[in-house]
Amino acid sequence: MSEPTDTPRPVPPSITAAWIGLMRAQRIVLAAIEADLKAAGLPPLGWYDVLLELARATEGRLRPFEIEKRTLLTQYNLSRLIDRLEGKGLVQKELSGEDGRGRLVVITQDGRAMQARMWTVYSRALSDHVGRKLDESGADALAGLLAKLTD
């Protein structure tokens, strides 16, 4: 067995450049999409992510931990977001029929309508901020490279 050392491993400049580029691109594109949603009078992208996952789910309902697993939201932020969505009538909470202890989050018709309204702006923003800079083969190549980081 090898002993752990405090000596940092050398990182090739190409790896560092890839990391910096990935972080910058993510920040810039996400900010642009958020700005487009805001300009259209729509809520932030996190709302769309939750509504989309609920719309995709069987009967439009998921437990909060299932939403957390399907999105990039932490449990704390997700709980607060679900409360805001519920306050706007976009979701409702129900007791789980399975055990009566757990909660389910259920998308409402208003939530489905909001998700559809948001997609109209979001899809245009994706085309503007990503599609204009990458052709389909470039997008496929990037998606393939990024998939390697999530395996």
Q: Give the tokens for residue 52.
A: 């989309």
> CA-to-CA distance for 127 and 40, rounded, in angstroms?
16
Q: Which letter does DSSP use for residue 59 in this model?
A: G
Q: Which letter does DSSP use for residue 92 in this model?
A: E
Kindly indicate the confidence band of residue 2, based on its pLDDT and cuts at 50, 70 and 90: low
Is the pLDDT score of 99 beyond 70? no
Percent of the chain surpassing pLDDT 70 = 95
With contact defined as beta carbons under 8 Å apart, do 82 and 64 qualify? Answer: yes
Is the pLDDT score of 3 beyond 80? no
Percent of the chain surpassing pLDDT 90 = 83
Is the pLDDT score of 1 beyond 60? no
Q: Which residue has the tokens 């259920």?
A: 106
pLDDT digits (tens, 9 = 90+) for 27-77: 999 999 999 999 999 999 999 999 999 999 999 999 999 999 999 888 889
Kindly indicate the confidence band of residue 8, based on its pLDDT and cuts at 50, 70 and 90: confident
CA–centroid distance for 83 within its chain: 18
Q: How many C-alpha atoms does 40 have within 13 Å on its Cβ side? A: 20
The reported pTM is 0.85
Mean pLDDT on 77-99: 91
Least trusted range by pLDDT, from 6-15, 36-45, 110-119: 6-15
CA-based R_g, the chain, Å: 20
